Chain A
């Protein structure tokens, strides 16, 4: 069974950092690019970042560029999102998903990040 399990969401203050993890199982992790998508409270989906199969290529939305870093550890089948200089507008549920140009058919259940003083 395919599973993507996000973790690491928390309540943090503006300016702080946080690292999200996404543990994959049930499929060949290195077959796919991986992506993060977020959804603010009551809002639509927003693409955040994507990383290629072996991590050599990464891309970011303008809203997080320079503050967020996507990475992956293929030996652990785990995707990461390191978030720094967090802002109130980064408050959202963060989903990880496989990607074939666009987010694909495997999604996690999401992890909530709340940025508030």
Chain B
């Protein structure tokens, strides 16, 4: 099972917006409803930031938003802050049996 494709790194200055893409095949995104995004700091557990493509769990800043078009899902972070510097992973529900993570994107806040 190949990972979903994410850029290895993205960067932005404080206050700017960045978008991280997550690309797969039509079979990787088993349906249009189930894509999640996770934030992970070094040595820490992942944290759910977006689920069901564009929904935010309680307590997650509205600076984080998700979308999906065709075979590409996207995470947008607006008003970048230093604390947003972390690794980000997408995940999809490939079919009734398989879940798939992206390779991860390192976000650097300049």
Residues of A within 8 A of B (CB): 35, 37, 44-47, 50, 59, 61-63, 95, 97, 100-105, 107-110
Contacts and interface: CB of A to CB of B under 8 A. Distances in A.
A95 B46 contact: yes
B98 A61 contact: yes
A107 B99 contact: no
A44 B104 contact: yes
B101 A35 contact: no
B57 A103 contact: no
B1 A35 contact: no
A102 B102 CA distance: 13
A102 B98 CA distance: 10
A95 B51 CA distance: 19
B34 interface: yes
B4 to A, nearest CB: 10
B101 A101 contact: no
Contacts of B101: 37, 44-47
24 contacts: A37-B101, A44-B89, A44-B101, A44-B102, A45-B38, A45-B40, A45-B89, A45-B101, A46-B101, A47-B91, A47-B98, A47-B100, A61-B98, A95-B46, A101-B34, A102-B34, A102-B36, A102-B99, A103-B91, A104-B48, A105-B47, A105-B48, A105-B57, A107-B46
Interface of B: 1, 3, 34-36, 38, 40, 44-48, 51, 57, 87, 89, 91-93, 96-104
Given A44-B3, A44-B104, A103-B36, A108 B45 contact: yes
A7 to B, nearest CB: 15
Contacts of B92: 102
